[in-house]
Amino acid sequence: MSRVSSSRAVTEPNPADAWVVAIGLDAEPASSPDIHFDVCPTWLELAIRHLSDAQVAQGARIETWRDADEHSKTGALEWEFAASLQAIVTSAIAVDALYAVVQTRVNLPQSLIDEWRDKRTPRYIQISEVLARAFSLEPKNVSSVRQTLAEIFRFRDLAVDPSAKMDAQILHPELGVGVEWRFVYFRCESALLIVKATLRLVAELAAAGKPKDADLQKYLDALWSSVEPLKNANALRAQAPDGPTNVHQA
């Protein structure tokens, strides 16, 4: 029987009592490895794709804003908002996908798990702690990882539950006019910052992480081979337009 291979497939041994579904006479025996497809690079690719869409939408918004009617201007803002929102959310999902694999290889003290539950510790802190333990990160690197994750999940949380800012209007740093807060937070420049930060985080962990677990090291090697080419994506080379482009702070 022919096989389909993938650079993102990570092999894991079958448990002794694994179920086998026979398909024809060439079914694999129970001792063959399971194939685990790593979705982290897929989500990163999607984030870059949505970022590219946001850049097209940004260009259209700039053109539309020059002399179009108010309805067209609002439509241009909505287009850029939707594409940027998707780029940011898929970036956060890429981090979750990485965490989903790594956390299975880290044995956390029950006391720490209980503390997180009781104190409702933010997700980005939990993820940074697991990554630090899994990859033997130095304290200064843990701090950097935590700051990056805090920003990624701050935007993700706003995308999921924006109720705290529902009625807020703020100055759009590129247009110089007051708009709904979401058109500022979820615009192309914000998406570019978040996607770049996410890709850099995953790439650096894959390249420099020092896990003691041999299987986790194999996973990182495969992850790096998938993520490294993404750093050359055209969407990530975009230059910020003239004028203020910093992500508006909450």
Distance between CA atoms of 72 and 215, rounded to whole angstroms?
A: 53
Distance between CA atoms of 244 and 176, rounded to whole angstroms?
A: 10
Query: Each residue's pLDDT tens digit in the chain (250 positions)?
Result: 444 334 455 544 444 343 333 334 444 444 333 446 789 999 999 999 999 999 999 999 999 988 778 889 999 999 999 999 999 999 999 999 999 999 988 888 899 999 999 999 999 999 999 999 999 888 889 999 999 999 999 999 999 987 766 677 889 999 999 999 999 999 999 999 999 999 999 999 998 888 888 888 898 999 999 999 999 899 998 765 543 344 444 3
**Tally of CA atoms within 13 A in the half-sphere of 122 that contains its CB:** 13
Distance between CA atoms of 99 and 38, rounded to whole angstroms?
A: 11
User: Which stretches does DSSP call E strand in 144-219?
Assistant: 169-171, 178-180
**The pair of three-digit structure tokens given for residue 62, joined into one six-digit string:** 């700039």
Give the H or E element holding residue 169: strand 169-171
pTM for this one?
Answer: 0.80
